Structure 1
Amino acid sequence: MTRGRSPVLQRRRLAAELQRLRGVSGKTLEEVADHLECSPAKVSRIENNLVAVRIQDARELLDLYGVVGDRRDTLLGMVRAARSKGWWAPYGDVLDESTENLLSLEEEAAAILVYDNSVVSPLLQTPEYTRSYLRSWTDHDLSTVDRRAELFQERQRVLVGADGPRLSVVLDEAVLRRPVGGGAVMREQLHALAAVAEHSGWDLRVIPFEAGPYQAMGFPFQIFEFRADPRVVHTEMFDGGRVLETAEEVGRYLTAFDQVRASAWEPGRSRDFLLELSETF
């Protein structure tokens, strides 16, 4: 898997840049729509990343905004990249838009901060843990379970290689004590997590029950940091995920992550706990 240039993030960057260029030009939505011979609603959808921009529309927009030279070539390259397919395209039969957005964030992230309180993060799940977990989904038949389990394992490849993201994970003790798939599955999963805690480029910590309550308790989330883009937050809900982008929203989750990390054991103590706990299954 080659990391970078996620089509989903390319569309987001392109939409933001087209909106910025219109603002700089002083053009109204109506004036741009007249130039494209379309409705103002279509222009708004393009700028808010609700529809993909066609290459011809992009050329006409750049003409209108007076964008030339290398900058023009770069933006047209973004249009082409935004219309390409991500590595996850073969799994379209088991993907929704929310999951596609999450995969695109994972693909380009320079760092991923994870807090989970109910299940091991898919980025760290063993194959049998994943299958056991997915079998509990009442709307999944066996073939769907196998396809999604394959997708879960494939997405872990973003962590491999010299350009893989820095990983910082905090797990509530409840995640680790909940039996998923039986003793053998749990022992394998706990040993895998202990290996993560030993990894030189990653940081895994456990919040023990004895730490008491904390602000984020009950609300799993991930924070994605990028080399050239602002941080974003991804939160999980029963029917999909949500991406938060405003500075205020992201700042609140950064504060919450700092708190859960401070409440957790250091990686060494967390590793010892994982190995000790594995012996109880």
Structure 2
Amino acid sequence: MNLTVRAEELGDELRRLREAAGFSLERAGELIDASATKMSRIENGLREGSTEDIAALLAIYGCVGPRRTELLRLAHEVDRRGWWQRTKPTFDERVRTLLNLEKKADLIVNYECMNVPGLIQFPDYTRALMIECEMVPADEVEARMTTRMQSHSVLDRPKPPRLLALIDEWVLCRLIGSPAIMAAQLRHLAQSAERSNISVRVIPNQGAHAGLNGAFWLLKRDNGHKVVYLENLTSSLFLEEPEEIEIYETAIRHLVRRALPAEESVRMITELARRWETGGVA
């Protein structure tokens, strides 16, 4: 079975349930007459366990009700590429799949045309973004902030992924929060670009370019597995078909060609930070 987002999601959920129930990999395998190797492959999305295997594990872990129904449906679909997630009711559930993919990625390319890429957002900027958009309930802001900030740890692990952040120049000039918050965010961007695994490239405001259709993420592993992630207000879309991935890779090549070199991008960011500090960007 080819690795798919659905298979990985199922494996991740089974691992969480097993650990919460207090079972070792070996013991859980014994209870369904499966080796620890097979269990490991199921949890890593590398082998399709039978529906009976999954149902038995869910029973052992005490997973019942709608969650059991959802995971069994996922077990039937693990070999399908591409996933339009429309049934994730909470913010944490909607972003969980993306966070899991970020943790496993060796390369992350994030193009943004409306706001700073999430992995290198400054906390005050993130909070202001949530409040000012008026789409996040006030009592959820801090919880979402915690989730967002925890996701940043992927860049601090011993072998972090490489991040290529492609940012439209308009993002740097759009007032979010206050001039002081914008200055702090841009200083944070410039500091992030100093890290060996992070490259920040600004696409100057000079005509149309390949990113005008909206933001996207490309998450790639050294084993060749690639996923493109898109989001909107109510759902998430994960693309896995090679033909679709190729289109986004072409867009990335065009955007990189249009973007300022890394050093020039940082100079622009630093200059705009200074201008925000002294009154704003005209």
TM-score normalized with structure 2 length: 0.69
Q: Which residue of 1 aligns with 2:105?
A: 109
> Map of 1:15-34 to 2, 5 A cutoff?
none
Counterpart residue type for residue 184 of structure 2: E
- Runs of 5+ consecutive residues of structure 2 not aligned to the other structure: 13-27, 46-57, 62-87, 277-282
Counterpart residue type for residue 162 of structure 1: P
Q: Which residue of 1 aligns with 2:262?
A: 267
Equivalent residue in structure 1 for 2:191, among 185, 190, 195: 195
Distance 1:93-1:181 versus aligned 2 partners, 3 A rule: same
> Map of 1:202-217 to 2, 5 A cutoff?
202-210=198-206, 212-217=207-212
> Map of 1:117-196 to 2, 5 A cutoff?
117-196=113-192
Looking at structure 2, the residues matched to 120 and 129 of structure 1 have their Cα atoms a distance apart, in angstroms, of 9
Distance 1:228-1:75 versus aligned 2 partners, 3 A rule: farther
Equivalent residue in structure 2 for 1:235, among 230, 236, 245: 230
- Greater CA drift, 224-233 or 117-126: 224-233
Once the two structures are TM-superposed, the CA of residue 222 in structure 1 deviates from its matched residue by: 0.5
Counterpart residue type for residue 192 of structure 1: H
Once the two structures are TM-superposed, the CA of residue 219 in structure 1 deviates from its matched residue by: 1.4
Once the two structures are TM-superposed, the CA of residue 116 in structure 1 deviates from its matched residue by: 0.4
Distance 1:146-1:231 versus aligned 2 partners, 3 A rule: same
Distance 1:79-1:114 versus aligned 2 partners, 3 A rule: same
Once the two structures are TM-superposed, the CA of residue 241 in structure 1 deviates from its matched residue by: 2.0
Check conservation: 1:197, 1:270, Cα contact below 8 A.
Answer: no
Looking at structure 2, the residues matched to 260 and 197 of structure 1 have their Cα atoms a distance apart, in angstroms, of 18
Distance 1:243-1:80 versus aligned 2 partners, 3 A rule: closer
Equivalent residue in structure 2 for 1:258, among 253, 257, 263: 253
Check conservation: 1:94, 1:147, Cα contact below 8 A.
Answer: no
Question: 2:279 aligned with 1:279, yes or no?
Answer: no
Distance 1:9-1:100 versus aligned 2 partners, 3 A rule: farther
Looking at structure 2, the residues matched to 121 and 169 of structure 1 have their Cα atoms a distance apart, in angstroms, of 7
Equivalent residue in structure 2 for 1:219, among 190, 214, 230: 214
TM-score normalized with structure 1 length: 0.69
Looking at structure 2, the residues matched to 146 and 13 of structure 1 have their Cα atoms a distance apart, in angstroms, of 29
Check conservation: 2:216, 2:230, Cα contact below 8 A.
Answer: yes
Check conservation: 1:109, 1:165, Cα contact below 8 A.
Answer: yes
Once the two structures are TM-superposed, the CA of residue 81 in structure 1 deviates from its matched residue by: 6.4
Identity over aligned pairs, percent = 27
Once the two structures are TM-superposed, the CA of residue 93 in structure 1 deviates from its matched residue by: 9.2
Looking at structure 2, the residues matched to 206 and 121 of structure 1 have their Cα atoms a distance apart, in angstroms, of 12
Looking at structure 1, the residues matched to 238 and 214 of structure 2 have their Cα atoms a distance apart, in angstroms, of 14
CA deviation vs aligned residue, 1:66-102 (integer Å, no higher than 9, x gap): xxxxxx5322224456789xxxxxxx99535431111
Looking at structure 1, the residues matched to 275 and 132 of structure 2 have their Cα atoms a distance apart, in angstroms, of 23
SS of equivalent to 1:198: coil
Looking at structure 1, the residues matched to 250 and 138 of structure 2 have their Cα atoms a distance apart, in angstroms, of 40
Check conservation: 1:9, 1:105, Cα contact below 8 A.
Answer: no
Looking at structure 1, the residues matched to 275 and 203 of structure 2 have their Cα atoms a distance apart, in angstroms, of 19
SS of equivalent to 1:179: coil
Matched length: 216
Once the two structures are TM-superposed, the CA of residue 162 in structure 1 deviates from its matched residue by: 2.5
Counterpart residue type for residue 153 of structure 2: R
Distance 1:96-1:266 versus aligned 2 partners, 3 A rule: same
> Map of 1:42-53 to 2, 5 A cutoff?
none
Distance 1:97-1:146 versus aligned 2 partners, 3 A rule: closer
Q: Which residue of 2 aligns with 1:10?
A: 8
Looking at structure 1, the residues matched to 222 and 7 of structure 2 have their Cα atoms a distance apart, in angstroms, of 13
Once the two structures are TM-superposed, the CA of residue 121 in structure 1 deviates from its matched residue by: 1.2
Looking at structure 2, the residues matched to 229 and 10 of structure 1 have their Cα atoms a distance apart, in angstroms, of 15
Counterpart residue type for residue 76 of structure 1: M
Once the two structures are TM-superposed, the CA of residue 161 in structure 1 deviates from its matched residue by: 2.8
